[in-house]
Structure 1
């Protein structure tokens, strides 16, 4: 059953009063009619939302936003506020994964070819309702999905290849139906809402280019590029950073119990600019994997000629990038347990780096026949360095 919500309006007696933005955020948090917790979803739906937030964090950092804070499961799946101290704007995100096919108007609003009246509990109507609940904080909304939107636009233009489209750009029949339905829902004995005054430009449909079948790899690639711009020495830790952020965001998404105030809301379900920057800063406390590889390569190259060193250096650079971006789905992947066992045995027997290098190269040559001679050498150095690095973190 749809809970009735009547938006607060300023009457003649309270026009002069100014509602504090934080108070409004807290009021909306406590209002059952404005909660839209998704309940249980498939893992891919949860994963899509968490990885999308990580991508949005990267976007905001690259755009050098002075401050921001995400609050999970606030009204919609995620709310993005412009400040954790004095929030003045919010963007509500409804995150929808779709395995295949397009989103149609019927999926989004409940409108059909015969009936242009939108359904009250449809995804878009909920989003419009929640955006319009704010009167002090400036609110906008977006329905974000991995799939394309196949809806009619004004002038019969196609939306299929459009990445972002505001609702006011839908064809006239559908926008009129949406405005009329919203106006009827909000009209009461105390006030009348005119359909033409319903601003549909505040809500948009957005397509996110995230591949559902390999979200981790996709986001690791984005993080690699981000770290390459701000902390080149830590690009090798892109995957670890993504995993850390993913775990933190997922944990906050599970905290759906109501928060009594703004500080508690941030503590339970918030993830701020400072949280992200602290996670990036934490990488500096971890030894540089690239430095480990460089030192080992220099040591092994000492008894070999310069041509050998140059060829292995080139392959090592290629290996490290593809291993980071490709996860386990890359041609450099081998049995990690077997590699670790060889490294542990060499450590227990106090073998030299040269002895382990030869032993590991022989194993990799058999297990990965698709790799060239110098690729085998590069991978052996990469795996030895990774094992050495892990021992420093124990």
Structure 2
């Protein structure tokens, strides 16, 4: 299709509030879930070496993924929903009543006249998750688009091949048991004018993602660590800082709902492109490598008389502390960081490094006596290095 027409059609659909998802339910975690998934998704797209991509937020459903920020030719439209427990049920996602499972035929002696089956009703379909996805896809007449319902929980839908979509994902709606697929086809058809083409169930998919609602950051940090180890190993220790910076840039994009006059305005107001992602990645190159700075500090401490065995132990403990920070840290590590920050603010730096570090260690031992000296020293040195970097 014509790329210009693709951008124009996308703008037209995005400016229609009927097709956007705003606010989100389930409180703060429900709002954050699509954002953290989007950070994770960018890592996936970059690792797949996609030549370009653009994620649009709350423009067409929760997230729309385009193959180009300038001239899109295809799109994926996502409903991204978290669930604290259990699986998604048929009625919640479709707005219809699930077909009844066939029952065994009664014996002749107890045979009763079968009551006529009630015709299904579809008044709740437009407001259901899958109904909204179908309507969004139907709004595109030229650009190839597919819809994905994505969640941390599975969908309790029977499959034609046997089993359940709850444990066999991703799958398309066309993969469902015939009676369920037919009911959905009829339900979606009820949303279109008479004479419209039959709904294409193959372009609506169910997908599960391993992101726990109580630990939204871990998959994105893990994906960032893998990408940085591949692209910029010297900055792998900054994986958490990298995803935090991406999250800060994404958050305002999910709160803008004004009508955009052009596609470029839409991209600017609600989009995050591969170009922006690569700029954030390149920004890491300007940040000093903390482990390289650690090597300089330890050499200075050794020159000032700290023994080799202690130097070696501190180096190992510092590596452990960095790994801890990569996965978000713990309450204890954050408490130690705060203590170190306060101590550094209250004590002037000395001309020699060793007296400064040993004075801090003495204070830390009083507060955190359960930890080993070399562990405390490593944590203090790494925090002091961080404060130095942040001040420059």
What is the TM-score when the length of structure 2 is the normalising length?
Answer: 0.87
CA contact (8 A) 1:68 1:81 kept: yes
Query: What is the SS of the residue equivalent to 1:326?
Result: coil
**Offset, 1:309:** 2.6
Taking a change above 3 Å as real, the CA distance of residues 32 and 380 of structure 1, as seen in their structure-2 partners, is closer
CA contact (8 A) 2:77 2:147 kept: yes
Partner of 2:165: 159
CA contact (8 A) 2:57 2:63 kept: yes
Alignment of 1:67-216 (within 5 A): 67-113=52-98, 118=122, 119-188=125-194, 192-193=195-196, 197-216=198-217
Taking a change above 3 Å as real, the CA distance of residues 310 and 266 of structure 1, as seen in their structure-2 partners, is same
CA contact (8 A) 1:334 1:367 kept: no
Distance 2:314 2:329 in 1: 21
Partner of 1:31: 16
What is the TM-score when the length of structure 1 is the normalising length?
Answer: 0.87
CA contact (8 A) 1:301 1:308 kept: no
Query: What is the SS of the residue equivalent to 1:44?
Result: helix
CA contact (8 A) 1:154 1:170 kept: yes
CA contact (8 A) 2:20 2:62 kept: no
Query: What is the SS of the residue equivalent to 1:185?
Result: coil
What is the aligned counterpart of 1:63 among 43, 48, 54? 48
Distance 1:149 1:301 in 2: 59
Distance 2:318 2:357 in 1: 14
Q: How many correspondences in the alignment?
A: 370
Partner of 1:365: 365
Query: What is the SS of the residue equivalent to 1:271?
Result: strand
Taking a change above 3 Å as real, the CA distance of residues 385 and 175 of structure 1, as seen in their structure-2 partners, is same
CA contact (8 A) 1:19 1:136 kept: no
Partner of 2:108: none
Partner of 2:102: none
Find runs of 4+ consecutive structure 1 residues off by over 4 angstroms.
38-41, 114-118
CA contact (8 A) 1:184 1:193 kept: no
Which deviates more, 370-379 or 269-278? 370-379
Partner of 1:273: 274
Taking a change above 3 Å as real, the CA distance of residues 342 and 268 of structure 1, as seen in their structure-2 partners, is same
**Offset, 1:228:** 1.7
Distance 1:377 1:163 in 2: 48
**Offset, 1:374:** 2.8
Partner of 2:221: 220
What is the aligned counterpart of 1:310 among 280, 290, 312? 312
Are 2:283 and 1:282 aligned?
yes
**Offset, 1:24:** 1.4
Partner of 1:5: none
Distance 1:100 1:74 in 2: 28
Unaligned runs of 5+ in 2: 100-118
- After superposition, the CA RMSD in angstroms is 2.4
Distance 1:276 1:212 in 2: 24
**Offset, 1:18:** 11
Partner of 1:12: none
**Offset, 1:304:** 3.4
- Structure ranking higher on relative contact order (CA contacts 8 Å, 6+ apart): 2
Query: What is the SS of the residue equivalent to 2:211?
Result: coil
Unaligned runs of 5+ in 1: 1-16
Taking a change above 3 Å as real, the CA distance of residues 246 and 219 of structure 1, as seen in their structure-2 partners, is same
